[in-house]
Copies of this chain bind each other. A is one copy, B any other.
Amino acid sequence: MPVHGGLWLCEGAESLGLLVSSELEKRWADSTSTMDSICQYSLVPAGKLFRPILLLDSAWAVGGDPISVLPAAAGVECGHVASLIHDDIIDHDEMRRGRPSVQHKYGINEAIIVGDALLFDQFAALAECRRRGVGDRQVASALEAVASAGLDVCRGQSLESELTASRRFDASTYLQVARLKTSFFRGACESGAILGDGSPEYVAALRAYGESIGTAFQIHDDLLGYVSETQTMGKPKISDVQNGRITLPVIVAHESGSAADKELISAALFADSDPLHALAVLGEVVDRTGGLAAAAQMARDYSQEAKNALTKLPPSPSRQRLACLADAAVSRDC
């Protein structure tokens, strides 16, 4: 089990993570087919399990039973991993979580199929909550939240491709992409609150929390690519540069930098054939122009917005942990 610094520093998060891990390990264990065993490969050992933990705590915070909603928590990880597998095809990423990506290890065709299977499994897992005593109304209502989140994730990926292709340094579109792409955070919190039978007000609060923490997480994740201390990420840092992704630090640097800086940025993102050199150039420019600091501040602002949403909920250990997780989303180790 890898250590997940920032996240698991929140009291109790590690226990919830272990609960989800063990559920995920069982999920595809009877793998008799190639597809099943690739599903297992992609899910085990598990990643940070950020979204499943949010789902469990969202259910718990509104008075629900985390054990009853455990299948849905495992499911949201299946959906997330599905999107990573398909993303790695799109981005030609060969590594994921420190191991060969599915598309690199098993080929693009299997990666497409396995991603699809995990998407379906997200919904199969949601349905399984009925057997643990979750009501039909909750399951049917969570279905809507999860499907809508999935659609938004796809919209975010598509919009991101457009932004990349346009080569525009557009903060507003970037933020829209960040919000849409991380909709599984929103889906996890909203569906968790629904499955835990929370009131509409609590559901709305946790939905808002999920949307803000997701956006904070994405901004933070993107800026980590330019911070030299985080060499331990499973995903190669050069991927964003290689794919010409236009992230917030770069957008701010482009806005506030000199004409020469703008040229440096464009050359690094769109013309440099040496991604390590391009990354070094970008890292210097985003730091010097304050792009990095501005992006970090914006990530913290969204994290604070997430915490503000929690004030609508009654105090509980879960609410406290959700606040801690909002901090963890923008911490150095996350």
Q: Which residues on A are within 8 Å of B, measured CB to CB? A: 33-36, 82-83, 86, 89-90, 108-110, 112-117, 119-121, 123-124, 126-127, 130, 135-137, 139-141, 143-144, 146-148, 150-151, 153-155, 157-159, 161-162
Query: Complex formed: what's the CA distance from A110 to B90 in Å?
Result: 9
User: Which of B109, B117, B161 sits near A161, CB closer than 8 Å?
Assistant: B109
Q: Is the CB of A154 within 8 A of B35?
A: yes
CB atoms of A155 and B35 under 8 A apart: yes
Closest chain B residue, CB of each to CB of A144: B127
Contact (Cβ within 8 A) A33 B113: no
A154 proximity list for chain B (CB < 8 A): 35, 113-114, 116-117, 120
Q: What's the Cα separation between A146 and B124 when bound, in Å? A: 8
Q: Which one of B83, B109, B121, B158 lies within 8 Å of A147 (CB-CB)?
A: B121
Please indicate the chain B residues that have their CB under 8 angstroms from the CB of A151 in the complex: 117, 120-121, 124
Closest 9 CB pairs of A and B: A120-B150, A35-B158, A117-B154, A124-B147, A123-B147, A127-B144, A136-B136, A139-B140, A136-B140
Name the contact of A143 in the complex, choosing from B110, B112, B123, B135 (C-beta under 8 A): B123
Closest Cβ of chain B to A137, distance in Å, is 4
Q: What secondary structure prevails in chain A residues at the interface with B?
A: helix
**Given known contacts A120-B150, A127-B143, is B112 in contact with A33 (CB within 8 Å)?**
no
A sample of 19 inter-chain contacts (CB < 8 A) reads A33-B158, A34-B158, A35-B154, A86-B116, A89-B112, A112-B112, A113-B154, A116-B119, A117-B150, A119-B119, A119-B120, A120-B151, A124-B147, A130-B144, A135-B136, A136-B136, A136-B137, A139-B143, A140-B143
Instruction: Tell whether, in the assembled complex, residue A110 and residue B158 are in contact, meaning their CB atoms are under 8 Å apart.
Output: yes
Does the CB pair B159–A144 fall under 8 Å? Answer: no
Contacts of A115 in B (CB 8 A): 112, 116
Are A90 and B117 interface neighbours, CB within 8 A? no
A103 to chain B, nearest CB (A): 11
Residue in B closest to A85 when the chains form the complex, CB atoms: B112
CB distance from A138 to the nearest CB of B (A): 8
Could you tell me the distance between the alpha carbons of A120 and B86 in the complex, rounded to whole angstroms?
Answer: 14
Give the CA-CA distance A141 to B127 in the complex, in Å.
8
Q: Which of B117, B139, B140 makes the CB contact (< 8 A) with A155?
A: B117
Q: Find the B residue at minimum CB distance from A91.
A: B109
Closest B residue to A122 by beta carbon equals: B147
**How far, in Å, is A127 (CB) from chain B's closest CB?**
4
Q: Whole-angstrom distance from the CB of A162 to the nearest CB of chain B?
A: 6
Distance in angstroms from A102 CB to nearest chain B CB is: 12
Bound Cα distance A123, B153 (Å): 15
Other 15 A-B pairs with CB < 8 A, given A123-B123, A124-B147, A124-B148: A34-B162, A35-B158, A86-B112, A110-B161, A113-B154, A113-B161, A116-B116, A116-B150, A119-B120, A120-B154, A124-B151, A127-B143, A127-B144, A136-B139, A139-B140
Nearest B residue to A125 by beta-carbon distance?
B147
